[in-house]
Amino acid sequence: MACISRQNVGKYTYLYESVSFRDQNGRPRNKKVSIGKIDPVTGMPVFKKEYLERMAAAGTPIEQEAPSIPRESLEIARNILASNKRYGSMCLFLKLANSINLLPLLQNAFSVQFREIFTLACFLIESQEPLLYCEEWLSQTESMPLLNSTLSSQRISELFTAMTENQRDEFYSSWIEQAQENEYIALDITSISSYSQLLESSEWGYNRDHEDLPQINLCMLFGEGSRLPIYQTSYRGSLKDVTTLRTTLEEVTSLVPGCAIRIVMDKGFYSRKNIDEMLNPDRPVHFLVSVPFTCAFAKKQVESVQKDIHDLDYTIPTPDGGIQGIHKVRTWHTDKRNAKLHVHIYLNSVRQVTERTKLYTYITELKREALKNPDNPQYAAEFKKYLIIRNSSKSSEGLTVNVRKDVIAKKMQTCGWMVLLSDSVDNAEEALTIYRAKDVVEKSFSRLKNTLDLNRLRVHNDERMENKLFISFIALLLISELHQRMLRGGLYKTYTMHELLLKVRKLRVARLNGKRIVQPISKEQHEIFKALGFEDPVG
């Protein structure tokens, strides 16, 4: 069922045709298509040519009502309104880009298309809409200087075809070289689902968003000091984290030979093969990685310190309460050599008690449910995992439900514990600080997927996919720099990032008789730019 809705954006009101439907899984969905806008002078709807033609072909033609004011006056008013555009957000994005030296590197790699790439990245940040709406956004926004394209859907398609892998690699190479840090680089992977069946990289595999769709895996490196993305690459959706590490490291070192890599990873990247690879003397990599309790090595480390961990000397103060941490040196045997590695074992007693209470409460409720209905299919798997259920009509006891205490005890053995492994960090407190800082990647993935139209890929070949991901990477650079400046300036106490952009975008500029007239900046906008560390925008 279709209906027409209105949406106010700044001083303008746009018309959208909304169509409700159900997807292949039966979930309600809504598709919104722009069909026109309200004329700000006459107040009458002005429909797009394609919509009028489509309605006429369907047998329900729409006649546009003629304006009730003289044509000459109407044309003058429209020209004035058309020349009045937003410029605040584009000004902010250019300031952010200049602060991290982004535009010269982008221009060096994409001498012809760099303005269009940057403009598309700005559009993704401000609008949070699919790229096909960029032309309409650009008609209301003062463009980047010397931009010669209106960025129609056709032009965007041409751009995605023109951008090459060599150009992307050239940018990454110069960006990595500029952004090299002596601190650790955080590495993580996320899944991005795809509706397209034509992407060679899109395959079925473990989907981190638990969606029943083919996917690609996006791997990203982030500087823990600068908190800016450094590099990204994509892999087939069927690959696991542990199989991508070697390839990613080889790509980075080939882009910037001699680049010193210090990398921090979660337990998804742990494997004996990966540790051996990073200890390879021909290609050494400094690392800090979390060790999962699915391997005997981690469990053995916990067992070795259980008697000593509660000693006062092992307390590490943290913002959310104290944690106990012990440093040990262990020998790691590889095919080429034996290496001394630093093992850090931690116990969060508060989390241990919380998780124990939560687990005990859950098991108690599960037992009550089993006594009421032992054949409940909804809990069949959990019953089998945690309970022993006997129901015999011959027995005087009838139905009995007992808890598998061995399972509970095994689960509690590692509850609240964490094990980190490193080749170079020999201090437990320092290792914990480095590891906790890696959440910058996880938060950035959230921004990438929720803010930059990457929840679903809607492109139909791998080259276009890589180019859309690259534009999103440029957008993420700008978002990350803005996020850090908002933190330093204390702006999150007053605004969300979206609210801040809405305030800034209200700055407008008009062109009358060839003269550029800039709207005065408000006190609130002045305070925003000042807190971000920038001078006020000027005409």
At 69-94, the pLDDT tens digits run 555 555 554 554 456 788 899 999 99
At 361 the pLDDT is: 94
At 256 the pLDDT is: 67
Which range has the worst mean pLDDT, 72-76, 304-308, 335-339, 531-535?
Answer: 72-76
At 206 the pLDDT is: 47
CA dist 249 and 232 (Å) reads: 11
At 122 the pLDDT is: 92
Would the pLDDT of 208 be above 50?
no
At 325 the pLDDT is: 94
CA dist 432 and 435 (Å) reads: 5
Could you give phi then psi for residue 532, rounded to 5 degrees? Answer: -80, -10
Q: Judging by DSSP bridges, how do beta strands 508-512 and 399-403 pair with one another?
A: unpaired
Under a CB-based contact definition with an 8 Å cutoff, are residues 508 and 84 in contact?
A: yes
At 454 the pLDDT is: 53
At 181 the pLDDT is: 60
Burial (CB < 10 A; 0-12, 13-18, 19+), residue 398, is exposed
CA dist 460 and 195 (Å) reads: 9
Would the pLDDT of 507 be above 80?
yes
Which range has the worst mean pLDDT, 90-104, 300-314, 332-346?
Answer: 332-346
Would the pLDDT of 531 be above 70?
yes
SS3 of residue 46 by DSSP: strand
- Enter the tokens of residue 114: 């760099």
At 280 the pLDDT is: 78
CA dist 319 and 438 (Å) reads: 16
Query: What is the 3 state secondary structure string of 318-358?
Result: CCCCCEEEEEEEEEEECCCCEEEEEEEEEECHHHHHHHHHH
Torsion of CA 69, 70, 72, 74, to 10 degrees: 10
Under a CB-based contact definition with an 8 Å cutoff, are residues 389 and 383 in contact?
A: yes
Would the pLDDT of 116 be above 70?
yes
486 CB contacts (<8 Å, ≥6 apart)?
492, 495, 497, 500, 531, 532
Mean pLDDT rounded to a whole number for the chain: 80
At 12 the pLDDT is: 72
Would the pLDDT of 530 be above 80?
yes
Pick the closest to residue 301 from 265, 334, 344, 260 (CA basis).
344
